[in-house]
Structure 1
Amino acid sequence: MEAVDPHAERHADGAGGDTRDEREFREEVRDWLDANLTGDFARARGRGGPGRDHEAFDVRLAWERHMAAAGWTCIGWPEEYGGRGASIRHQVVFHEEYALAEAPAPVNHMGEHLLGPTLIELGTPRQRDRFLARITAVDELWCQGYSEPGAGSDLAAVATRADLVGDHWVVNGHKVWTSHADQADRCFAIVRTEPGSRRQQGLSCLLIPMDRPGVHVRPITQLTGASGFCEVFFDDARTDAADIVGAPGDGWRVAMTTLGFERGVSMLGRQVGYERELRRLVEAARANGAADDPLIADRLVQAWIGVRTMRFTALRTMAGLRDGAPGPEASTGKIHWARWHRALGELAMDVLGAGSMLTRGAPYDLDAWQRLFLFSRADTVYAGTDEIQRDIIAERVLGLPKDRGPRPPEDRRGR
């Protein structure tokens, strides 16, 4: 295998395919990151991300607030809501350069990329005034309350309920696999507000403060030893009657809008990060001789093809945006990156050989490759299982009839 150019990502993703305006913007982003990723921020390079969200959290939060003060958060939002009104192509450039600079993983993803765009599209003027400025300033962190122990990725099966009592919604139920719930100030949650309703009917999206009485958070320790996911228990927790997105019973439409944004332009940054992981694995394979094995070499080549295909799939999704959010076709991208990354974790263990079975020290000191392998087992589960993504593609893209047979009994967990 030929030597890897450490700047190859920039050659492949940079000026070669950019317009003049995009090249100038790329240079602006790159120069700002180079000038500001210094001191503690520089020491946090590459920290955080899936399976590692506990790393340098306070520094990453300070970094994101530093970015906010310079106008580098929520750049795709309209200017009237605190963004830059950046085009899709400019957003792609930003996320690519951010990943190439190995800037710390953001802590405000749920607010910036999921809830904020949803409120811009479906929220009330009061909600936009109340919440959007705090999201752009990274003054308020959000978590997403979708999955439940008895529902998982089958969002239509949620059982957490909310009853309108006077001028408050009173919430009771149990959410699980809630990312960053222990750090969040608020939660946007799908709950059942119509007693006796079933499936997609009778659901609503509520905005719930996490510091209210009756809200209890319990972190879940994962195989990696980290606890980025949490359980959230609502026991007569209250939120204002006005803190509902859309009309009562409109929660399914709100949730589908949010999930569309989740498959959005930030996926390009994820792809660049994956390409960097692959490059480092190639370097490790050369260093220990594993790359001389034709089977390993072939798998590394196939991984490279897969990550480049991932980029083209993401770009095609961005080209097909509908009213600012990807359509159901974006589920193909989720299936692709989840299966690719899980396979990369398996390939890393084979490259490292028997030594990958040993921790660096007691009691459970994992290296980066071991964490990658263990956490990537969840890639095909969180943010919507492969099975759910295939259902979406079959029904909403291909127009196939819904499966009316008995649902499989396995736990379909998601975020």
Structure 2
Amino acid sequence: MSDSAFSQLHPTLQQTLVSLGYTEPTDIQQQAIPQVLAGNDVMGAAQTGTGKTAAFTLPLIHQLLESGAKGATRVLVVTPTRELAQQVYDKVIEYSQNTSLKCVALYGGANINPQKSQLQKGPEIVVGTPGRLLDHLHIGTLNLSSLDTLVLDEADRMLDMGFISDIKRLMKRMPKERQTLFFSATYPKQVLELAYGLLNQPVRIEVSTSNSTADTVNQLVHPVDKKRKRELLSFLIGSRNLKQVLVFAKTRQTTEALANELKLDGLAAEAIHGEKTQGARNRALEGFKEGKIRVLVATDVAARGLDIPSLDTVFNYELPHAAEDYIHRIGRTGRAGKSGNAISLVSREEEGMLAAIETLIDQRLPQEWLEGFEPDLNAEIEHREKRGGRGGDKRRLKHQLLKKSGGKKR
């Protein structure tokens, strides 16, 4: 640890890291910790599962220990989802276990009164989602006038059109002279431009190519007709004896319907989405981690903030509207150097989404047609003819489609 970024941390933190089994920092931690300790604004980009949370929480805890600050909110971490807020909170508690520092997690879907009580104790670190943070600012239970550092975790989501107005409202309630840190796995071009406008001469850290996927994740596409996706999903889970499977769909309605259909197939399944209460989401997630639930069907609310140890397989039942969300989804597996599998079930209607994902990650995803679940070639030919506005040699087009499959069938 003598030559690592960890050696720059407070002795109490170093002892805690040793007890937790942390021996060497990850690449993002090695590069980010010194910059945060130096007080610089930072824009950090690293793949999911590479230790970004520790990269900013550890130096911030160090700064609080060094300054001796007590009884006022000095650090604010803003996250897009309740699950991610809880995950960051858990890590802060873990890393600060041998100190007197206090932390609170503030998010909607939970009773606000216990949060009020915790805020009265003067936590130095606050983690929360934008809506609930604004609620507490409005009723006067949260004060950001003493804030030293603002962190946007999953900054790409925090700066998109859905959250940016709330973020700007939060920023108006904190000192202009502060340290600001942005961390994310992806930075779309428009988000990058906005981020530079909110940061003060930021140090940009990229430990891998921006918008890339981890080498530890084996990615595969199974072309299949839309109406047979559920049947194929059940077949793959059963035939491969997969014990813990995370499945992503686009809408709340689809997650609920798919979970119910999987139950009829004899698979223990539950749905998790933004309109479920926090208690229901927590119960589903705990049941999944404990092995009581075999299949967790989730919307993209679960793509950020779910930390499931040794998750082997992620399915994209439907491809996401935003290509960047594909990276966050498959980042739930292949974490901390372990290998994982990301399997996408892609119908002809999703070819445009697949092309956008491949353009973003700058790689062609391998495709494999599974025997018994091959796409209906006649329907595919009709679809392509209509899209092209003309007929054509159906035999030639069929040959092209079979060639595109790579001849890979199982």
Q: TM-score, normalised by structure 2?
A: 0.26
